[in-house]
Amino acid sequence: MTEILFYHLLRQPVERVLPMLLEKSLERGWRVVVQAASDERVEALDAHLWTYSDSSFLPHGTVKGGDAAEQPILLTTDADNPNAANVRFLIDGAPLPDNAADYDRIVLMFDGEDDDAVAAARARWADAREMGLAATYWQPDEQGRWVKKA
């Protein structure tokens, strides 16, 4: 059964949290698709993932960059899965894919300080439950560690 994790971002932007979660995904041997809402966001994330850390490297590419099937982490705005990813990250309000059941895990990240993003995440929570996905809700504690709240 597909597991969907809702990450409620507080005091930390996607750019800080996403690389850490991508690293953990690769450590587990998973292939990943990151779906953003715009081409501009994909380009910004692409640039960020090359420079976010001096001591780490995240092998990735974009659909526009070619060789999508070969990328361990693929950045896109599309709902397809050209690199046969096990995990799909949804950011910036990207919708749940129709083929959600094809993934082992979906991670939906939303800005907890944006009322519209919170409302959209609540709607997607209801959608996930309706689709029969195992949904969990995660929020950072005061030390920044992720704690399962529901």
Q: Give the per-residue pLDDT at 28.
A: 96
Please state, rounded to an integer, the average pLDDT across all residues of the chain. 93
Query: How many CA atoms lie within 13 Å of 121's alpha carbon, on the beta-carbon side?
Result: 25
Quick check: 144 pLDDT over 90? no
Query: What percentage of residues in the chain have a pLDDT greater than 70?
Result: 100
Question: What is the per-residue pLDDT across 44-70, written as a single tens digit (0 to 9) for each?
Answer: 999 999 988 888 889 999 988 889 999
- Once rounded to an integer, what is the mean pLDDT over residues 17-45? 96
User: Does the domain formed by 3-148 have CATH 3.40.50.10110?
Assistant: yes
Instruction: Provide the CA 11 distance to its chain's centre, in angstroms.
Output: 18
Q: In what order do the strands lie in the sheet with 61-62?
A: 61-62, 73-76, 32-35, 87-90, 105-111, 3-9, 134-140, 146-148
What is residue 5's predicted lDDT score, i.e. its pLDDT? 97
For the residues 73-98, what does the mean pLDDT come to?
95
Give the pLDDT mean for 135-145: 91
**pLDDT above 90 for 143:** no
